[in-house]
């Protein structure tokens, strides 16, 4: 199985790049993609850039050109839940938007037309993450991750979001870019601080039966 791993920023990807064996670089749409092996897994790494659109572009390349079978999105995030601390690892069992508002048309806040409010993770893989994290004694949480293309700065915004998503575990600025594009069960691992990324190797989550048809045209890569 070939796994695509996406991170928005250099700091979120460099540890994985340092561990990548048999590294091969390929440029697609003016962005470098790195193929190789992490442990026994064949992977393709990319720094997508910040934002849901940039992430979606990288997903299209990984699926159409590199033919990945699974996708992982990793990165740092801010916490809404008061019981979360710096260094905690959060695995999503559900994901949602918090910058979508079609309530004027009768939709629930956060729900896009034609899409569910929550994108559920595959429980098999959430459980697998739990076991790996427990084995290595990593402090972790399972819960809802929400996303938008805006930073949530200020107490008022955090309170508002907590009221909207009462069971929200984590505010992940970019986490849900993948579920929106894939419409496929997934589980996402995020690290709260860049310093943690430099100390902790990301566990690999295998997502099976990934059937994607995002791009009809051939992408130009070199």
* Whether this model's pTM surpasses 0.85: no
Q: Where are the domains of the chain?
A: 2-197
Selected from 3.40.50.1580, 3.40.50.360, 3.40.50.1100, 3.40.50.720, the CATH number assigned to the domain covering 2-197 reads 3.40.50.1580
For the chain, what percent of residues have pLDDT higher than 70? Answer: 68
The whole-chain average pLDDT of the chain stands at 73
Q: What is the DSSP string of 89-139?
A: EEEEEEEEESS---GGGTPPTTPPTTS-S-EEPPHHHHHHHHHHHHHTT--
How would you label 149-170 residue by residue, b for 16+ Cβ within 10 Å and e otherwise? Answer: eeebeeeeeeeebeeebeebbb
Q: Residue 185's pLDDT is what?
A: 39
Q: What is the pLDDT of residues 124-179, one digit of tens each?
A: 778 888 898 899 898 888 888 887 777 766 677 777 666 666 644 444 444 444 44
How would you label 182-201 residue by residue, b for 16+ Cβ within 10 Å and e otherwise? Answer: bebbbbbbbbbeeebbeeee
Task: Name the residue with tokens 């004027």.
Answer: 104
207 confidence band (pLDDT: 50, 70, 90): very low
DSSP code, position 203: P
């Amino acid at each position: 199985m070939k796994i695509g791993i996406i991170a928005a920023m250099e700091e979120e990807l460099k540890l994985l790049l340092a561990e990548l064996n048999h590294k091969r670089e390929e440029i697609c749409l003016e962005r470098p993609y790195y193929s190789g092996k992490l442990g026994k897994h064949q992977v393709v790494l990319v720094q997508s850039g910040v934002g849901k659109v940039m992430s979606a572009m990288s997903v299209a390349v990984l699926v159409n050109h590199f033919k990945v079978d699974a996708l992982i999105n990793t990165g740092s995030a801010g916490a809404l839940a008061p019981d979360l601390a710096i260094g905690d690892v959060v695995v999503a069992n559900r994901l949602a938007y918090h910058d979508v508002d079609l309530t004027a048309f009768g939709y629930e806040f956060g729900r896009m037309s034609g899409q569910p409010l929550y994108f559920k993770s595959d429980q098999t893989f959430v459980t697998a993450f739990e076991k790996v994290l427990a084995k290595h004694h990593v402090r972790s949480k399972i819960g809802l991750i929400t996303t938008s293309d805006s930073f949530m700065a200020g107490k008022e915004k955090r309170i508002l979001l907590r009221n909207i998503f009462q069971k929200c575990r984590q505010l992940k600025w970019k986490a849900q870019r993948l579920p929106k594009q894939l419409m496929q069960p997934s589980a996402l691992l995020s690290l709260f601080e860049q310093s943690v990324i430099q100390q902790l190797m990301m566990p690999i989550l295998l997502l099976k039966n990934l059937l994607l048809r995002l791009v009809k045209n051939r992408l130009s890569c070199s």
